[in-house]
């Protein structure tokens, strides 16, 4: 534990508003998820490495599922048992790092 104050847990309204600016991300229980389809396995691994560095610098860590060239990212905040600003901030950074931009990312 770091002694940090747990982040604010977003309400359903706050989640809806935050998701409106993150096309491609969907709500899955207490998490948001997005699937990225890359050209091949090596590209998928490269994206995962970029996400890994982002996660470390944010001190916020997604669940990552790699299946051949499909990478599924799942974000939730353990500290508040729900979704927080940390999830949506990292989701936006992941979109930028994946080259997916704000409009789909499915290749």
Q: What is the torsional sign of CA 95, 69, 78, 28?
A: positive
For ligand HBI, what does the binding mask look like between residues 47 and 86, x meaning CB under 6 A?
------------xxx--------------xxxx-------
| Cα–Cα distances in angstroms (integers) from residue 27 to residues 70, 84, 89, 104, in the given order | 19, 13, 15, 16
- 2 vs 103, beta carbon nearer ligand HBI: 2
CB 71 within 8 A of CB 28: no
Question: How many residues does the structure list for the chain?
Answer: 107
| In the complex, minimum distance from the CB of residue 75 to ligand HBI, in angstroms, rounded to a whole number | 6
Query: How many Cβ atoms from other residues are within 10 Å of residue 23's Cβ?
Result: 15
For the bound state, the minimum distance from the C-beta of residue 81 to ligand HBI, rounded and expressed in Å, comes to 9
CB of 6 to ligand HBI, least distance (A): 8
Name the site residues for ligand HBI (rule: CB under 6 A).
1-2, 59-61, 76-79
Q: Which residues carry out catalysis?
A: 56, 60-61, 78-79, 87
């Amino acid at each position: 534990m770091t002694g940090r104050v747990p982040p604010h847990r977003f309400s359903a309204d706050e989640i809806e508003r935050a998701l409106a600016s993150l096309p491609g991300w969907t709500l899955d229980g207490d998490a948001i998820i997005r699937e990225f389809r890359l050209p091949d396995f090596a590209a998928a691994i490269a994206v995962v490495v970029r996400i890994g560095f982002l996660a470390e610098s944010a001190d916020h860590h997604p669940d990552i599922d790699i299946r051949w060239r499909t990478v599924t990212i799942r974000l939730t905040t353990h500290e508040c048992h729900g979704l927080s600003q940390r999830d949506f901030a990292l989701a936006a950074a992941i979109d930028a790092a994946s080259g997916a931009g704000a409009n789909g990312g499915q290749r």
